[in-house]
Amino acid sequence: MHTKGICHRDIKPENILLDKECNLKIADFGFAAPASGKDGSGKLKTYVGTLDYMAPEIHLGMPYDGKKNDVFAAGIILFMMLTARPPFRTAKKDDSYYKLIIGKRSDLFWQA
C-alpha cells in the first residue's frame, strides 16, 4: 500500500483480515489518502482514524506523515498481540500510560 503511494490512516484489528492461506489483507480504505498529501508536501492534515490507534501528531492537530501513522497503529496492534492489552488509551499527554512513555519512564510503564 505504501509502495503504491497510499496511506490507510485507520489501521486497527477490525481492518486486518486473513485469507484462507493466512495472507494478511487490509480492509476499509474509507480514510485512505495519497501519501504525498493534497499539496504534495508529504504531510496530511485531516483528523481521521480511530482514536486509540492515532499517532500523537494527529491528536495535536499537527500535519503528519500518513505512512508513519500507519506504522504507529501497526505497532500498537503488535503490542496488543504480545501483551493482550493496549499500551495506552490514546497517544495524548493526559493519558497516564502514554505520559510514562514520553516522560522516559519506561521502568514505571512496564511495572504498571
**Residue in 10, 28, 39, 65 annotated catalytic:** 10
Please say whether the beta carbons of 34 and 95 come within 8 A: no
DSSP codes joined into one string, the chain: -TTTTEE-S---GGGEEE-TT--EEE---TT-EETT-TTSSS-B----S-GGG--HHHHTT--B-HHHHHHHHHHHHHHHHHHSS-S-SSSSTTSHHHHHHHTT-HHHHHH-
**Known catalytic residue at 10:** yes
Could you list the active site residues? 10
